[in-house]
């Protein structure tokens, strides 16, 4: 099943045109592969500046996407905004394969099903429950303690679609805000006392499986601000997270790249928190940090190419997310120090408009000592404004 | 003079749309910079698959290029096909800066002026002479011995525009073939007994100068088939070549990236052979081999950004050119072994048609021992057909 040939006309289609598709597209180009992009916005999406094959339409319209898919050899995802049912229809009507497959995505698109899938595979997950009504809200608080998290079972990311609830009153309000009274499935999730948030990216196809080192994601207000690799935790925790990620990958029979996020609890347990069927912010550091990046292995995986090595190029890698600091036309300012730093690599996503907190760029620094590398990376990017 | 800000709308224009522009464009994209391309062909050029901003026209038409340049913030080159006079007009009429500048290019576009420029700067060059007629042909042979090289003073590359002449008879024929009787300046160049062909890429702008390691180019029939870095020659030869490259860079006051090719003679002399005002095949190995590649430093240099580090990422780097093996629609076959090799990196240029000997792709392998790395790189690419 391994592809041994790259025809010059091979075209990889992305559903979604943001920075994840953009960085994947750069790797597709490296292999001489053409890139087409389907966006739900008409213009100014990051990948739209990088290809003549740009189409706009609705992520809810099978017809729009079928038309697009017919012009591509393989379709892949960069977000979780299209339901697996629609993806199945697009694939079946266009005849173009989609990876990760709609069947894989169906097992993780809904947070409830995701947790059940991984639990069934013997992977520890954070305590959760489907919430139907006020009684469920109350019961969950009594069993697992307040505060806890309420999550819409679909579509949440970067803290959107999540609310922390402190008591029954705020829980009822959040349940309503998240669409619980309008038919949206809502799940409650216990707060876990964790010491670290970890992540592992895994690429897989018929040729094999490639597991990245276990990294730590540093979060502020549910937004990832930095990633450190390898994670500064005992190596047996790293290995445990990698093992669970492989197990999870097999549980959903994934082809492509999937990112798994974990909690390392105060009791030394590793719990699977979330998964994403695409390159992930936690893996941006692999562009320079690993021999083959998550984006390269994304492309390799969905095109049936042998997977590349996930080994680190240096003992320590720190990645700093550069979030929007202003609401203005995008402009990355005060980059001199970052660019002058040896082994530092700046990536700007090509978004036209900046908003406060929006993921606009990132900076990766390679070094020999993790603490020092992280410190330097923070220091040389401290004045950057976007 | 250093740029400290990257606005999202910054647009870099390439005159030429081949693989050198393509690999530079990938680095521009990494910085969030938009890429526009002007090609003398209407379609299917490598960069035309990578941007919505693609224009076609004539490299002889100032008007075509002025129109293009007006839409860009900075213009750069990927070939030597446009005369410095035309480039000056394009710059002056569009108001858009061009780097390397037409003034720099004017010093190297003509092989005779190039040699004089470097000689005047105290840089040893291969013995040469302007040839006007049969007597000159005869005299040069008598002074420097047969065979020698005849070169058209403009436009030659990869062995085109060069002929080896063995005696007066063949010299007269070559002189005519190269356009000597039609007004083309022809120079004769003595054959140098060299042990190695070396190359050094240098990036330079107002912020500083960045010199790559001295590498060896392995040539067959005037076509580069492999590059080894650092060059397997004594380190003082490497340093001498680097010194001369810096001197040459200053002699032409270059802003951008310039590649310099040298002969290491049997007497241990380093002679400057040729220069190219653009990324060069001899520097493709820097994509993974160096911290910042020649393409990244090309983009940085012409945009006034601080230059990146030229240090090698591993002690040994081998780059194999993958030349067309068939005349057919391009298709890179039998790539499995190359892709499976750790630290091996395949680059395919996205050309639609393959021709025997055409530069279609390359493969870079990083390792600890140069000889072994070269051997492995040759071995795992031996079956690739394009």
Determine the average pLDDT of the residues in B350-358: 96
CATH of the domain at B165: 3.30.1490.20
**For residue B313, which residues of chain A lie inside 8 Å, CB to CB?**
313
Determine the average pLDDT of the residues in A192-207: 97
In whole angstroms, what separates CA B67 from the centre of its chain? Answer: 27
Nearest CA in chain A to B345: A292
Residue showing tokens 């090509």:
A350
Q: Which of B29, B300, B335 lies nearest to residue A50, judging by beta carbons?
A: B29
Percent with pLDDT over 70 in chain B: 98
Q: How far apart are CA A167 and CA A353, in angstroms?
A: 38
Which of B32, B52, B207, B350 best tests the A interface by mutation, with the highest count of A CBs <10 A?
B32
Determine the average pLDDT of the residues in A100-110: 97
Structural domain contains residue A355: yes
Structural domain contains residue B115: no
Query: What φ, ψ does residue B179 adopt, rounded to 5°?
Result: 95, 10
**For residue A33, which residues of chain B lie inside 8 Å, CB to CB?**
348, 350
Could you tell me if A203 and A352 lie in one domain? yes
Look at residue B31 in the predicted model and tell me its pLDDT: 97
**For residue A308, which residues of chain B lie inside 8 Å, CB to CB?**
339
The structural domain count of chain B equals: 3
Q: Which of B50, B305, B335 lies nearest to residue A4, judging by beta carbons?
A: B335
Could you tell me if B222 and B366 lie in one domain? yes
Q: Which of A29, A49, A336 lies nearest to residue B4, judging by beta carbons?
A: A336
Q: What order of strands is seen across the sheet that includes strand B162-165? A: B128-131, B186-190, B148-152, B162-165
Could you tell me if A267 and A225 lie in one domain? yes
CB of A51 within 8 Å of a chain B CB? The answer is: yes
Could you tell me if B202 and B244 lie in one domain? yes
Instruction: Provide the ipTM.
Output: 0.95
Confidence of residue B246 (pLDDT cuts 50, 70, 90): very high
Q: Looking at B57, B82, B99, which one is the last position of a domain?
A: B99
Q: Which of B48, B343, B351 lies nearest to residue A8, judging by beta carbons?
A: B351
What's the per-residue H, E or C state across chain A? CCCCEEECCCEEEEECCCHHHHHHHHHHHHCCCEEEEEECCCCCCHHHHCCCEEEECCCCCHHHHHHHHHCCCEEEECCCCCCHHHHHHHHHHHCCCEECCHHHHHCCCCHHHHHHHHHHCCCCECCEEEECCHHHHHHHHHHHCCCEEEEECCCCECCECEEEECCHHHHHHHHHHCCHHHCCCEEEEECCCEEEEEEEEEEEECCEEEECCCEEEEEECCEEEEEEECCCCCHHHHHHHHHHHHHHHHHCCCCEEEEEEEEEECCCCEEEEEEECCCCHHHCCHHHHECCCHHHHHHHHHCCCCCCCCCECCCEEEEEEEECCCCEECEEECCHHHHHCCCEEEEECCCCEECCCCEEEEEEEEECCHHHHHHHHHHHHCCCEC
Q: Which of B32, B309, B339 lies nearest to residue A350, judging by beta carbons?
A: B32
Residues 234-293 of chain A whose Cβ lies under 8 A from any Cβ of chain B = 291
CB of B208 within 8 Å of a chain A CB? The answer is: no
Record: contact A6-B331, CB cut-off 8 A: yes
Look at residue B21 in the predicted model and tell me its pLDDT: 97
Record: contact A350-B8, CB cut-off 8 A: yes
Distance from CA of B363 to the nearest CA of A (A): 11
Look at residue A159 in the predicted model and tell me its pLDDT: 55
Percent with pLDDT over 90 in chain A: 92
Record: contact A331-B8, CB cut-off 8 A: yes
Look at residue B2 in the predicted model and tell me its pLDDT: 87
CA atoms within 13 A on the CB side of B8: 20
Distance from CA of A310 to the nearest CA of B (A): 9
B372-385 confidence digits (pLDDT tens): 999 999 999 999 99
Look at residue B74 in the predicted model and tell me its pLDDT: 98
CB of A213 within 8 Å of a chain B CB? The answer is: no
**For residue A359, which residues of chain B lie inside 8 Å, CB to CB?**
none
Which of A4, A8, A335, A366 best tests the B interface by mutation, with the highest count of B CBs <10 A?
A8
A7-18 confidence digits (pLDDT tens): 999 999 999 999
Identify which has the larger pLDDT, A161 or A366: A366
Confidence of residue B162 (pLDDT cuts 50, 70, 90): confident
CATH of the domain at A331: 3.30.470.20
Distance from CA of A50 to the nearest CA of B (A): 4
Structural domain contains residue A17: yes
Record: contact B50-A51, CB cut-off 8 A: yes
Could you tell me if B25 and B135 lie in one domain? no
**For residue B330, which residues of chain A lie inside 8 Å, CB to CB?**
7-8, 32
CB of A305 within 8 Å of a chain B CB? The answer is: yes
B121-156 confidence digits (pLDDT tens): 999 999 999 999 999 999 999 999 999 999 988 765
Could you tell me if A241 and A352 lie in one domain? yes
Could you tell me if B164 and B59 lie in one domain? no
B330-344 confidence digits (pLDDT tens): 999 999 999 999 999
Confidence of residue B159 (pLDDT cuts 50, 70, 90): low
A324-343 confidence digits (pLDDT tens): 999 999 999 999 999 999 99
Could you tell me if B269 and B150 lie in one domain? no
Look at residue A291 in the predicted model and tell me its pLDDT: 98
Record: contact B342-A7, CB cut-off 8 A: no
CATH of the domain at A46: 3.40.50.20
Could you tell me if A91 and A230 lie in one domain? no
Look at residue A363 in the predicted model and tell me its pLDDT: 98
The whole domain housing B21 covers 11-99
Structural domain contains residue A37: yes
Look at residue A222 in the predicted model and tell me its pLDDT: 81
Determine the average pLDDT of the residues in B156-178: 85
A125-180 confidence digits (pLDDT tens): 999 999 999 999 999 999 999 999 999 887 655 556 789 999 999 999 999 999 99
Identify which has the larger pLDDT, A264 or B179: A264
Distance from CA of A30 to the nearest CA of B (A): 5
Record: contact B334-A4, CB cut-off 8 A: yes
B256-283 confidence digits (pLDDT tens): 999 999 999 999 999 999 999 999 999 9
Structural domain contains residue A217: yes
Determine the average pLDDT of the residues in A352-361: 96
Record: contact A347-B30, CB cut-off 8 A: yes
Q: How far apart are CA B31 and CA A159, in angstroms?
A: 27
A111 is in an annotated binding site: yes
- pLDDT averaged over chain B? 95
Query: What φ, ψ does residue B96 adopt, rounded to 5°?
Result: -95, 125
pLDDT at B7 over 80: yes
Q: How far apart are CA B31 and CA B84, in angstroms?
A: 29
Q: Looking at B52, B82, B99, which one is the last position of a domain?
A: B99
Structure tokens at A248: 């999870």
B32-90 confidence digits (pLDDT tens): 999 999 999 988 999 999 999 999 999 999 999 999 999 999 999 999 999 999 999 99
Look at residue A162 in the predicted model and tell me its pLDDT: 85
Could you tell me if A330 and A308 lie in one domain? yes
Could you tell me if A204 and A326 lie in one domain? yes
Nearest CA in chain A to B342: A309
CA atoms within 13 A on the CB side of B367: 17
A6-59 confidence digits (pLDDT tens): 999 999 999 999 999 999 999 999 999 999 999 999 889 999 999 999 999 999
Could you tell me if B237 and B290 lie in one domain? yes
Q: Is the dihedral of CA B115, B121, B127, B128 positive or negative?
A: positive
Structural domain contains residue B174: yes
Structural domain contains residue A246: yes
Record: contact A32-B349, CB cut-off 8 A: yes
Structural domain contains residue A113: no
**For residue B348, which residues of chain A lie inside 8 Å, CB to CB?**
6, 8, 30-33
Instruction: List Cα–Cα distances, A123 to A206, A243, B243, in angstroms.
Output: 23, 10, 60
Look at residue A221 in the predicted model and tell me its pLDDT: 85
């Amino acid at each position: 099943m391994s592809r041994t040939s790259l025809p010059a006309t091979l075209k990889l289609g992305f559903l979604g045109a943001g920075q994840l598709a953009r960085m994947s597209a750069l790797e597709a180009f490296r292999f001489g592969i053409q890139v087409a992009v389907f966006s739900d916005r008409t213009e100014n999406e990051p990948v739209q500046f990088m290809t003549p094959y740009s189409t706009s339409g609705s992520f809810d319209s099978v017809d729009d996407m079928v038309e697009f898919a017919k012009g591509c050899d393989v379709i892949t995802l960069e977000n979780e905004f299209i339901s697996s049912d629609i993806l199945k229809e697009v694939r079946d009507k266009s005849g173009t394969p989609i990876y990760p497959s709609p069947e894989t995505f169906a097992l993780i698109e809904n947070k409830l099903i995701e947790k059940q899938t991984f639990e069934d595979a013997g992977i520890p997950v954070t305590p959760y429950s489907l919430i139907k009504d006020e009684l469920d809200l109350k019961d969950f608080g009594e069993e697992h303690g307040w505060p806890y998290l309420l999550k819409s079972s679909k579509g949440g990311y970067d803290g959107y679609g999540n609310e922390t609830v402190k008591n029954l009153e705020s829980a009822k309000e959040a349940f309503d805000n998240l669409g619980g009274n309008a038919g949206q499935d809502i799940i409650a999730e216990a707060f876990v006392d964790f010491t670290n948030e970890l992540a592992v990216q895994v690429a897989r196809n018929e040729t094999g499986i490639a597991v990245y080192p276990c990294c730590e994601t540093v979060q502020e207000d549910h937004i990832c601000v930095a990633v450190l690799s390898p994670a500064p935790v005992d190596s047996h925790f790293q290995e445990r997270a990698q093992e669970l990620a492989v197990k999870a990958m097999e549980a959903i029979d994934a082809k492509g790249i999937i990112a798994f996020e974990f909690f390392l609890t105060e009791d030394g347990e590793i719990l699977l928190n979330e998964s994403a069927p695409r390159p992930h912010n936690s893996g941006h550091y692999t562009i320079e940090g690993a021999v083959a990046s998550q984006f390269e292995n994304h492309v390799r995986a969905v095109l049936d190419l042998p997977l590349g090595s996930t080994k680190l190029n240096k003992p320590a890698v720190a990645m700093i997310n550069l979030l929007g600091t202003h609401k203005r036309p995008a402009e990355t300012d005060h980059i001199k120090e970052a660019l002058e730093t040896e082994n530092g690599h700046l990536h700007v996503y090509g978004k036209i408009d900046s908003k406060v907190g929006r993921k606009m760029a990132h900076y990766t620094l390679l070094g020999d000592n993790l603490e020092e590398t992280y410190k330097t990376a923070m220091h040389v990017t401290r004045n950057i404004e976007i």
